[in-house]
Amino acid sequence: MKTSSAIFSALVVIAGLAGSSAPGVAQETIKIGEINSYSALPSFTEPYRKGWQLALDEINAKGGVDGKKLEVISKDDGGKPADAVTQANELVSNDGVVMLAGTFFSNIGLAVSDFAKQKKIPFLAAEPLTDAITWSKGNRYTFRLRPANYEQAAMLAEQAAKLPAKKWATIAPNYEYGQSAVAVFKKLLSEKRPDIQWVGEQWPPQGKIDAGAVAEAIAKTEPEAILVVTFGPDLVKLVREGNTRGLFKDRSVVGFLTGEPEYLDPLKDETPEGWIVTGYPWNAVTIPDHAAFLKAYQDKYNDYPRLGSVVGYSTLKAAAAILAKAKSTDSEKLVDAAEGIAVDTPFGPITFRKSDHQSTLGAFVGKTALKDGKGVMVDVTYNDGGKYLPSDEDVKALRPQN
């Protein structure tokens, strides 16, 4: 006990010293705290980091914001909400950042958003898709960039309604993301097509799909179309088993996020053709702003951007725009400035809606195809996120009002 307490108090003291002796940073920088799952999800977060670093260079090359350079202090949350809160706390209480940004997983986004609410610090959620972050758990300090689950479902349901298929089955990972994706898609599609029957569902645990058994179980329900929400390594397994077992043959398939390079590229020459998907066809985008982004990205990294790159880039651009508009680093003024702000992104101009703090960033919808042994998206259209969001009036009912 004696030794333990001694060691512990020594640790606390050392920690305190380390904190107080941290090198002072020049006063003319504005600090933004950034948190993401770098070690837990490198396939998404590496391109994401490259994206925001590119944006940071561009902003500072043009003189920063209001004559002050931007500085990003980046932290890894290890994929755990509790650790993300620790990092957020360090950024806010110790490093003196004026706003928080980032996060990938929905639960981490929610944990940080609740922290932001408690500490009254603006938080720009980059990636988390859960509808809760802007609606049922929305708060004054939290904004979200990427099109939410609801929007992705709405874009896909719109296309799915045009299909002749009447018997549908679903495969989705067994957690909130998969559950809400399926629930919203079902609701929206059934509204458009009351004749549709939902004949089967499979809920493999995330990261542990028994793909053969799942494919067989779905095939047994004899659907005419299948909704696939599964992504990442599980998607690769499912596609391989499904291809071999003929699960997708003569069936329409709709896939959440499947067209994102992060998930499409690993499939290589086994990419199933004709799936209706949301995604990011980086070499087929015709939006003018994208061309400049693409060139700058390829020049800097000698690699093509993933969707994560666009998200990272746009997140930092949005943060800079908010700081420039607020002309202050005061939290309340930043929030006021962020509400309704217009930001230029590689996908064109977007705004952060005042009503629910959701940006109008959209997504590409198209069909998967094989080209030179690689998966690509064809028949692509860009869907503006704003068109798929409920109206400001409807949102009021979804969001806690205070």
Nearer to other proteins, 110 or 277 (CB): 110
Nearer to other proteins, 217 or 324 (CB): 217
Nearer to other proteins, 245 or 333 (CB): 245
Q: Which residues fall within 8 angstroms of residue 36, CB to CB, at 6 or more apart?
A: 45, 48, 49, 74, 75, 76, 77, 102, 103, 104, 126, 127
Q: Which residues fall within 8 angstroms of residue 117, CB to CB, at 6 or more apart?
A: 139, 140, 141, 142
Residue 370, burial from CB neighbour count under 10 angstroms (0-12, 13-18, 19+)? middle
Residue 40, burial from CB neighbour count under 10 angstroms (0-12, 13-18, 19+)? middle
Nearer to other proteins, 250 or 393 (CB): 250
**Min CB(324)–other proteins separation in Å:** 28
What is the residue type of 193? R
**Min CB(38)–other proteins separation in Å:** 7
**Min CB(393)–other proteins separation in Å:** 26
Nearer to other proteins, 46 or 66 (CB): 46
d(CA 319, CA 242): 42
Nearer to other proteins, 35 or 322 (CB): 35
DSSP3 helix / strand / coil % (the chain, rounded to 5): 45, 20, 35
Nearer to other proteins, 108 or 285 (CB): 108
Q: What is the largest CA-CA distance in the chain?
A: 75
Residue 174's nearest CA partner among 219, 152, 207, 137 is: 207
DSSP H helical segments within 274-384, as ranges?
A: 288-301, 307-326, 331-338
Question: Using an 8 Å Cβ cutoff, are 376 and 284 in contact?
Answer: yes
Joined together, the tokens standing for residue 358 give 């959701």
**Min CB(175)–other proteins separation in Å:** 5
**Min CB(325)–other proteins separation in Å:** 29
Joined together, the tokens standing for residue 263 give 């998930």
Question: Using an 8 Å Cβ cutoff, are 23 and 71 in contact?
Answer: no
Nearer to other proteins, 200 or 386 (CB): 200
**Min CB(327)–other proteins separation in Å:** 28
**Min CB(47)–other proteins separation in Å:** 8
**Min CB(328)–other proteins separation in Å:** 23
Nearer to other proteins, 68 or 119 (CB): 119
**Min CB(63)–other proteins separation in Å:** 29
Sign of the CA dihedral with 244 first, then 214, 368, and 40 last: negative
**Min CB(34)–other proteins separation in Å:** 13
Degrees, nearest 5: CA angle 327-148-161: 140
Q: In angstroms, what CA-CA distances link 177 with 107, 126, 132, 174, 367?
A: 10, 16, 10, 8, 23
Nearer to other proteins, 63 or 246 (CB): 246
> Which helix (H) or strand (E) segment is 170 a member of?
strand 167-171
